Chain A
Amino acid sequence: MDLIEFPSLGRRDLRDLRLGVDGAFKDFTRAYGETLESIFEPLKTFLVFLEDLLITSPWPLVLLVLVGIVFLMSRSRTIAIGSLIALCLIGFFGMWEDTMRTVAMVAVCTMVAVVFGIPIGILMARSDRAQALINPVLDLMQTMPSFVYLIPVVMIFGLGKVPGVIAVVIYAIPPMIRLTNLGIRLVDQDVLEAADAFGSSGWQKLRNVQLPLALPTIMAGINQCIMMSLSMVVVASMIGVKGLGQPVLQAINNQYFTMGVMNGLAIVAIAIIFDRATQAYGRRLQKHSEVVHG
């Protein structure tokens, strides 16, 4: 027996297998592609609306609103002023429109991740079986190279915003789910016992005790989710998502060093703004649980 060569399926068998699976998937796409697309239509409409709003509104107004949101979340003048300067520089260097597209994209992706991630995280926290089932899926989502799941997504939806959102959400939702689960599981048993002793129902316990106490951890999940969405913008630009990713991609293809660096820095700037604002917000939420007297 040949011990050097690993015994494998014949070349012909392998090809048949591939063709078979691909063929079946293509049939599936043809049969259900439009239905799936129509399901995601509202998402697309919303994304387009948000993008238009950010791009077509007068820039001083947009700037004011963005900095205002940052200030309300962080309650920190330093962070607000930093964001103001960063956004002004971005505008000055001609990246305003692309930045707004990226901000809209990240905002929508984060919203989708929150809407799906928190309930899934709650489910995981409530049932060990659900946790055992969902965890490997999350591992898969986090380690599978994103290019691989881009293929079926593009096959179904073609190029554009929707496949972009789906790809980004697949990549960015796992920390949202994991940290929601973790946050709820870490809630002090004594406090839960007290809630039980007063006759709380499962829902009352979740709403009055578990979610509020898990909130700082959930905020960390949202923060992670935003960061990961941002790191996906370049990859997403490969399937036609407009924004700061596209000029970077162009720069790679054409070896435009300055263009690459400028857009890259803009992504970094937005990431820092988002990060500081959400972290400061998370810290404020945590304030009440810091020092506990014995």
Chain B
Amino acid sequence: MVEATGIEIRNLYKIFGPNGAEMVEKVKAGMSKTELNDDYNHVLGLNDINISMPGGKIQVVMGLSGSGKSTLIRHINRLIDPTAGEVLYGDDDVCQMSIRQLRDFRRHKTAMVFQKFALLPHRTVMQNAVYGLEIQGVDQKEAAERASRWIARVGLEGFEDNYPNQLSGGMQQRVGLARALTNDADILLMDEAFSALDPLIRMDMQSVLLDLQEELHKTIVFITHDLDEALRLGDRIAILRDGAVVQQGTGQDIVLNPADEYISSFVKEVNRSRVILVDTVMAAGQKLEGGLSIPKGVLLEEAAKRFADSGEGVANIVDASGNPIGVLNVQDTMRAMVTPAEH
């Protein structure tokens, strides 16, 4: 399989208002969102965003309400034009594409799930799901076949002929999901795609996404304000505040080394045993004779379970070919699970 292409966001600014271009200079000179709003009546949407989203991976974008998540994701398929900056997909700058190139890019490379669902109210579930393929000109029968697979996969089998207004909010969101997945595009843009789902279905949809990812390796941009969801799904996480990136890295990076107060408050409540890997806690380079061994890349939660089951207090951490690379003991495991990072 070809390596999926990543997305590079470089020096991206978005300022809402009639004179955005002029205001960029002021923002670059350090003007804050509040000042810009009070003195110039412009809204600072995004402030110097630089994110490199790896191809074939899930990039999560987090942040509180109004931090600019939806604005950011809309720049990737240019539903919003930036005030300054670049959005690169491979060698192409999405912001420089002609109308026709952009249309083709949207048709064949991207699919999007919307925070507010944005279903076509006059079309049935099935007709909504095939929308992207219809636009591409895919044969009706084939489109319906592909769509019904995804409709079933999101658990809406039997509702194909219902209209969106006959479904609950969570069901509507899954129609949006099926519509995007049916498109089978390289880039999947998901704006709070699971926010309207109940916890059980939400877990289920997260698994669907992870399974899908295992198979297809799409480049997924996933927006959420649920940290647990971010940690479960995200290969990388970027945290936004007031339109700027305050920290980015792997889930573990963020939980272990929160960049500031804002992020510590985010990560305080998180279940650390489901984020931190044994590799991070082990004493590297050491080695025991015999005893328990735990593969590297396992979560602390799993390690704790193995300690408990076996009754041992120390274990070798081994790599894929079974060679020991370090030693982990129960105390360190416990300590890492309960100690929040200091700030």
Which residues of A approach B to under 8 Å, CB–CB? 188, 190-191, 193-201, 204, 208-209, 212-213, 288-294
Contact = CB atoms under 8 A, between A and B. Distances in A.
A290 B132 contact: no
B121 A289 contact: yes
A290 B165 contact: yes
A289 B122 contact: yes
Interface residues of B, number: 33
Interface string B238-270: 000000000000000000000000000000000
A190 B115 CA distance: 10
Interface in B87-111: 103-108, 110-111
A197 B110 contact: yes
Contacts of B117: 190
B131 interface: yes
B118 interface: yes
18 contacts: A190-B114, A190-B116, A194-B119, A195-B120, A195-B131, A198-B106, A198-B135, A199-B107, A199-B132, A199-B136, A200-B135, A204-B135, A208-B131, A208-B134, A213-B121, A288-B164, A289-B122, A293-B165
Contact of A293 (B103, B114, B136, B168): B168
A197 B117 CA distance: 13
B112 interface: yes
Query: Chain A interface mostly helix, strand, loop or mixed?
Result: helix
A292 B165 contact: yes
Contact of B165 (A194, A195, A204, A291): A291
Given A288-B163, A289-B121, A293-B165, A197 B79 contact: yes
A90 to B, nearest CB: 37
Contacts of B59: none
Contacts of B169: 293-294
B111 A292 contact: no
A191 B79 contact: no
Contact of B112 (A194, A290, A291): A194
A199 B77 CA distance: 10
Contact of B183 (A198, A200, A212, A292): A198
A198 B136 CA distance: 9
Contacts of B168: 293
Given A199-B104, A293-B167, A293-B168, A194 B122 contact: no
A167 to B, nearest CB: 36
B172 interface: yes
Nearest to A288: B163
Contact of A201 (B103, B132, B167): B103
What are the 8 closest A-B residue pairs judged by CB atoms, nearest first? A199-B107, A199-B106, A194-B118, A190-B118, A197-B112, A198-B132, A288-B163, A289-B121
Given A199-B104, A213-B121, A289 B114 contact: no
Contacts of B106: 196-199
A199 B97 CA distance: 13
A194 to B, nearest CB: 4
Given A190-B116, A196-B106, A197-B114, 7 more contacts: A190-B114, A194-B118, A196-B79, A197-B189, A198-B107, A208-B120, A293-B169
Nearest to B124: A288
Interface string B154-181: 0000000001110111001000000000
Contacts of A290: 165
Nearest to A294: B169
Contacts of A294: 169
A289 B119 CA distance: 11
